[in-house]
Chains A and B, each alone.
Chain A
Amino acid sequence: MNSESILTLLILVPLVGALMVLFIPKGKDSVVRTAGLLISLAAFVVSLFVLDLFDYGKIGFKEFQMVHTFPWISDFNIFYKVGIDGLSLILVLLTTFLTPLTLLATWGNIKVKVKEFTFFMLMLEVGMLGVFLSLDLFLFYIFWEAMLIPMYFIIGIWGGEQRIYASVKFFIYTMAGSLLMLVAIIWLAVEGSNVIGTFTTDLIALYAVGPQVGLDIQKYLFLAFALSFAIKVPLFPLHTWLPDAHVQAPTAGSVILAGVLLKMGTYGLIRFCLPLFPQSAVYFAPMFAVLSVIGILYGAFVAMVQKDMKKLVAYSSVAHLGFVVLGIFAFTQEAMQGAIIQMINHGLSTGALFLLVGFIYDRMHTREIADYGGIAKIVPVYSTMLLITSLSSIGLPGLNGFIGEFLILIGTFKSPVLNNWWYTVFAASGVIFAAVYLLWMYQRVVFGEVKNPHVKELTDMTGREIAIMIPILIFVVWIGVYPSTFLTMTEGF
């Protein structure tokens, strides 16, 4: 395969697929479902080719492979330019891996407007892949904004009772941040014309421009970018859109939201904020570290007292992503690689938790923890899977979560930039509370006596559901036992 255009092909597969889905006649829901699944699987296969072509010899920071570029708006030196490095690769794989599983998971609960739903899911994948592959800020911005639209509809059409409130909140929150980013992009490009003589949005060219911008202005540019990303992460205190979006979104929406969308925030920090504005990043590192640590503890405490399973998992995301942001702003290799691994881990573990909550919601139509209890005997396979997933999220050594958290914490501890033990001490205490809220939920849902008679009618996981979970659990163990496979991709960071 031609390594020049393979990334473009990767974006085109779900895009063309999505358009094709629209032409399937009405009422053929199962055809639509199968087509959607096959298309997303095709994208996954293409991403495996990308993995195969990936050259582990060229994994330095700011070093890109398989770059495909052609002029787009030539007057402004705006390019269609895509390329990949270890960070993008690992997130692209996460995206193409989760999308088919998520689509498969909707077979049980999306009953209306299946065609539209499949279309939006595939368009969402296009947007996500575009974000991770863009090497031009303008192109990136287009994908970044475009991705909002399908998610907006997924929550707004197939969501729960308060879906409209949740989807509008999600949309406006994100928009508010990204508009400032757009201003900053243009500003940076203008600065570029001073420094290198041409106005351009080419990221690699701008990598040379950003650090030259004086700190007084650079700070604002950094903050404009960082705000947009921090909302997406979400970093405390910008997180309140998340619980609503998660609770209202259908399972598939929650999985993609937690699994991939939140990673765009942390991806953006690593891809743009740090290399474009290195001095400002160091300058603001303590602030971001403090907010991350607050998020870790705050997310855990609030998760602890939730009564709704989805909300609990949503707040746990705030805590988990806090670890990632902390790792990014520690500026050590251990912490950075830990942050990247933790992005994947969170995608797998939290994605799996949302899937599992979704599976049981499909049966009982309630997410209240108090409505369950004593299901261990009734649905043993489900209970086991929920246990493994919870343990992975808790960060049990031997499973994936531990690797990420450990690297982040150890890297933060020795960080010369942060240079303070207390970040790590407080963040590490988060591992205690993670155990509290997840095990407490597990105990109340799975153990004890059956209190709700409906629980007795629960059926255990179907073959389809098991087939969705198994691949995720394989990676949960793989990353925990042999993380080298993944760490080698991002060694340069």
Chain B
Amino acid sequence: MIQLIYLTVLLPFIGFLINGLFGSKIKNEKIIGAIGSSAIGISFIIVAGAFFELLSLPADQRSVIVTLFTWLKTGGLDVSVAYQVDQLSIVMALIVTGVGFLIHIYSIGYMHGDKGFWRFFAYLNLFIFAMMNLILADNFLLLFLGWEGVGLCSYLLIGFWYDRKFEKSTTADAAKKAFVVNRIGDFGFLLGMFLIFMEFGSLNFSEVLPAAAAGGTSEFIFTMIALFLFIGATGKSAQIPLYVWLPDAMAGPTPVSALIHAATMVTAGVYMVARTSVIFASSEVMMEVVAVVGILTAFFAATIGLVQTDIKKVLAYSTVSQLGYMFLALGVGAFSAGIFHVMTHAFFKALLFLGAGSVIHGMHEEQNIMKYGGLKKYMPHTYITFLIAAIAIAGIPPFSGFFSKDEILWYSFANGGFVFWLVGALTALMTAFYMFRLVSLTFFGKERFDHHHVHPHESPAVMTIPLMVLAGLSIIGGFIGIPEVFSGTHGNLFHGWLEPIFAQANSKLASHGSHSHATELILMAVSVALAASAIYFAITVYTKKQEIAAQTASRFKGMYNLLLNKYFVDEVYDATMVNPLVKFSDKFLWKIADVKMIDGLVNGTASFFLRTADIIRKMQTGVTQVYALVMMLGILTALFWIITSL
């Protein structure tokens, strides 16, 4: 099966071509949906097969490269379209095709009746194609192809309803913003690649990474490479300072938010850093930077999530925050914990988004949670699965989120220090709070919608079954990563599986801090207690005593507005960078520098000659006598000159 891995790239592409070229003629939603979904379903089966084949191999042979053809070969550059199947890429591939398949199925129900149904499935398949390239690539350049490809699909899908309004502008604006902000990150990634190529003479992982492990270059260069790559990661994975596109990306259809902007694409940055862990581990500074950016993003995004009223916005900021956790994990050297959280997060966050989609679907496209309330009885399946996901993300044992989040918190304490742990735990507290605020406002309490116009209903089975599968995964998904402190001698299975990938990076990192099991248990208990009390508090406030929330908001009005407006970061970016640049280009570069100065000089030269010629032209009087006179004078002068020089 490993040798067939290229099919998992090819099949989604074929699906894209069929639906993209002929979808508008096929028209039948069932056929279009079946083509789109089966392309991903079959890919998942192949990936699963490859996984088991990998499992059967000895640990040191679990990296297989399947080469298709030479892509770019010139000078010292030699890059192939080649796919690398190993412990890390197979985990990512399982998530992408597995969750991707469920979301495809769900979309058949969600997008039912949409005029662009075929287009939607075409784009979705194209996305999987690009994403598979990203995670299976055996070199930086092919990874970059996937990297930009997923950005394109994100662009197309955010702007899917291109004629709709979105907040103050349009979906098309949101789409463009996502693409451009991502490109800023890609710019960093490109520079990283250039530097890697200059230092290591190759872009293939199989050459660069071992060379980096062996030392290869100075710490300064490692820092620069890691910095550039990390700029790329902050763009794709929505970290400070480039996270601003992700909340706006919610303009896209909800399955897109689930698939691209929660479960898969936004974790690409985490994957990339994990893949190049040995480079990051070679730079102490950059490890610190990654950890700090991660924890800050986690914290600040969570604070914004506390006050948002759009169901998808809450989830969007939650995603930004959870991605921050993943980077925190990477930054403190807990690479496999980061990937573990990528996986569990894919389950519960996809579930949350799909659940939100189900609610939006049942509430006639209403997204304001203030206009929900008491939906539990109308949407029992959606409710129970959403609740499971909320418990999972809040970090209540034994749900999946508990294991992954706790592992991150533990390592941030052990390797990062108390402050990291504290901020991480506070973030966990806020996470539990805003999630259950969301649950309460949506499913509990009074019904705040207009019964005349809105008739809440449960979604069809094609949508709820994927919810249930994901709910199951959200419950049990964490068991493969049970920490040592519970599993004893078996150790952490997930950790063990990824160990060879991160061995070189880990060996580069200085010895880890204390590893006392007692401390680990105490911290675990504290964070669970924090989360549980936040849940209790949120349910109490938002189902029974909403006035408390209102009072708090009015008492801390300044703070509340600051959070509600997301710290005005968008406004600041616009005022300090976007607008000045546009103004400068328009008013100065074009209208003055180009038209007046450069072209003015050109036209000035031309008119100088015209004017001079105009004067000289006067000599051409057309009067024969004048010409004859001048001729005579000329001849006389010439004669005089000849005679005198004799």
Query: In residues 299-339 of chain A, which contact B (Cβ within 8 Å)?
Result: 301-302, 304-306, 332-334, 337-338
**Interface-central residue, A332, A377, A448, A484, by most chain B CB under 10 Å:** A448
In contact, A169 and B176 (Cβ under 8 angstroms):
no
User: In the complex, A436 Cα to B581 Cα: how many Å?
Assistant: 12
A241 to B601, CA, bound (A): 12
Q: Is A157 at the interface (CB under 8 A from chain B)?
A: no
Residues 445-493 of A at the B interface (beta carbon under 8 Å): 446-449, 481-484, 487, 491
A397 at the binding interface (Cβ < 8 Å): yes
Is B144 an interface residue, CB under 8 A from the partner?
A: yes
Given A237-B598, A435-B180, check contact A332 B75 (CB 8 Å). Answer: yes
**Cβ-neighbour of B186 out of A169, A237, A431, A449 (below 8 A):** A431
Chain A residues whose C-beta falls within 8 Å of the C-beta of B18 in the assembled complex: none
| B176 lies within 8 A of A439 (CB) | yes
| A432 vs B577: C-alpha distance when bound (angstroms) | 14
Q: In the complex, which residues of chain B have a beta carbon less than 8 angstroms from the beta carbon of A482?
A: 69, 71
Report yes or no: B585 in contact with A301, Cβ–Cβ below 8 A: yes
Residues of B near A447 (CB, < 8 A) are 159, 162-163, 170-172
Is A12's beta carbon under 8 Å from chain B? no
Task: List, in ascending order, chain B residues with CB within 8 A of A443's CB.
Answer: 159, 172-173, 175-176
Contact B187 A428 (CB under 8 A): yes
CB neighbours of B612 from chain A (8 A): none
A67 within 8 A of B: no
Q: How large is the interface on B (under 10, 10 to 19, 20 to 34, 35 or more residues)?
A: 35 or more
Q: Which of A172, A334, A338, A435 contacts B183 (CB 8 A)?
A: A435
List of B residues within 8 angstroms of A172 by Cβ: 606
B589 within 8 A of A: yes
Instruction: Give the shortest distance, in Å, between A381 (CB) and chain B (any CB).
Output: 10
Contacts of B70 in A (CB 8 A): 484
Partner of A333, one of B75, B145, B180, B198: B75
Contact indicator B187/A240 (Cβ below 8 Å): no
Contact B163 A448 (CB under 8 A): yes
Return A22 CB to nearest CB of chain B, in Å.
34
Q: Which residues of B contact A270 (CB under 8 A)?
A: none
Among B152, B163, B195, B598, the residue within 8 A (CB) of A374 is B163
Are B73 and A487 interface neighbours, CB within 8 A?
Answer: yes
Is B33 in the interface zone, CB < 8 Å from A? no
Interface residues of chain B: helix, strand, loop or mixed (majority): helix
Q: Closest residue to B81 on the A side, CB-wise?
A: A481
Q: Does B410 contact A (CB under 8 A)?
A: no
Say whether B384 faces chain A, with CB atoms less than 8 Å apart.
Answer: no
Q: Which residue of B lies closest to A429 (CB)?
A: B187
Contact A305 B582 (CB under 8 A): yes
Instruction: Name which of A3-11, A76-84, A405-413 contacts chain B.
Output: A405-413
Is the beta-carbon distance between B585 and A302 smaller than 8 angstroms?
yes
- Nearest B residue to A243, CB-CB: B594
Q: Do residues B197 and A398 form an inter-chain contact, with CB atoms below 8 A? A: no
In the assembled complex, how far is the CB of residue B213 from the closest CB belonging to chain A, in whole angstroms? 23
Do residues B180 and A431 form an inter-chain contact, with CB atoms below 8 A?
no
* Nearest CB in chain B: distance from A483 CB, A: 6
B69 touches A424 (CB 8 A): no
Tell me, in angstroms, the Cα distance from A376 to B76 when the chains sit together: 44
Instruction: Give bound CA distance, A50 to B85, whole Å.
Output: 44
On chain A, the residues within 8 Å of B594 by CB distance are: 240, 302
User: Known: A169-B602, A240-B598, A305-B590. Contact between A439 and B72, CB under 8 A?
Assistant: no
| Nearest CB of chain B from residue A390's CB, rounded to whole Å | 11
Contact assessment for B176 and A491 in the assembled complex, using a CB-CB cutoff below 8 Å: no
Q: Tell me the smallest distance from the CB of A379 to a CB of chain B, in Å.
A: 13
Let me know if A187 is at the binding interface, CB within 8 A: no
> Which residues of chain B have C-beta atoms less than 8 A from A484's C-beta?
70-73
Per-residue contact bits, chain B 595-621, to A (CB 8 Å; 1 contact, 0 not): 000110010001000000000000000
Question: Known: A487-B74, A491-B74. Contact between A173 and B602, CB under 8 A?
Answer: yes
B198 near A396 with CB under 8 A, answer no
B148 at the interface (CB under 8 A from A): yes
Q: Is A403 an interface residue (CB 8 A)?
A: yes
How many A-B contacts are there with CB distance less than 8 Å? Answer: 136
Determine which residue in A241, A305, A333, A487 has the highest number of CB atoms from chain B within 10 A of its CB, and name it. Answer: A305
Q: How far is the CB of A163 from chain B (nearest CB, A)?
A: 16
Interface membership of B584, Cβ < 8 A = yes
Determine whether the beta carbon of A432 is less than 8 Å from that of B187: yes
Closest Cβ–Cβ distance, residue B224 to chain A (whole Å): 9
Q: Say yes or no for B365: interface residue by CB 8 A criterion.
A: no
Interface presence of B564 (CB below 8 A): no
Q: Does B602 contact A431, Cβ atoms closer than 8 Å?
A: no
Tell me if A398 and B149 are in contact (CB < 8 A): yes
Most buried by A among B24, B159, B585: B585
Instruction: Let me know if B191 is at the binding interface, CB within 8 A.
Output: yes
A150-173 to B contact mask, C-beta < 8 Å, 1/0? 000000000000000000010011
0/1 interface trace, chain A 388-430, chain B, CB 8 Å (1 if under): 0001000011100011001101110110000000001100110
Cβ-closest chain A residue relative to B597: A237
Confirm or deny: A117 has a beta carbon within 8 angstroms of a beta carbon on chain B. no
Question: Which residues on A sit within 8 Å (CB–CB) of B176?
Answer: 439-440, 443
What B residues does A338 contact at CB under 8 A? 74
Residues of A within 8 A of B65 (CB): none
Cα distance A376–B172 in the bound complex, in angstroms: 12
Evaluate contact between B148 and A397: CB separation under 8 angstroms: yes
Does B289 sit within 8 A of A, measured CB to CB? no
Q: Bound complex: CA of A397 vs CA of B182, how far in Å?
A: 14
Q: Within 8 Å of chain A (Cβ to Cβ): is B179?
A: yes
Give complex CA distance A397, B176 in Å: 18
Determine if B589 and A428 form an interchain contact, defined as CB atoms under 8 angstroms apart.
no
- Contacts A397-B148, A448-B172 given; does A428 touch B74 at CB 8 Å: no
Residue in contact with A448 in the complex, picked from B170, B180, B183, B585, CB distance below 8 Å: B170
| Contact of A143 with B by CB under 8 A | no
A382 lies within 8 A of chain B by Cβ: no
Give complex CA distance A279, B606 in Å.
34
- Chain B residue at minimal CB-CB distance from A165: B603
A298 located at the interface, meaning its Cβ lies under 8 Å from any Cβ of chain B in the complex:
yes
**Which residue in B183, B191, B585 is a CB contact (below 8 Å) of A424?**
B191
- A412–B219 Cα distance when bound, in Å, is 23
Task: List chain B residues, Cβ under 8 A from A491.
Answer: 74
Given pairs A298-B589, A484-B73, 8 additional interface contacts (CB within 8 A):
A240-B598, A304-B585, A376-B163, A396-B149, A396-B152, A428-B187, A439-B180, A483-B72
Contact sample, A vs B, 5 pairs, CB 8 Å cutoff: A301-B585, A410-B77, A410-B197, A440-B176, A487-B73
Write the residues of chain B forming the contact surface with A, with a CB cutoff of 8 angstroms. 24, 69-77, 141, 144-145, 147-149, 152, 155, 159, 162-163, 170-173, 175-176, 179-180, 183-184, 186-187, 190-191, 193-195, 197-198, 581-582, 584-586, 589-590, 593-594, 598-599, 602, 606
The 3 A-B pairs with the shortest beta carbon distances in the complex, nearest first, are A447-B172, A333-B75, A305-B586
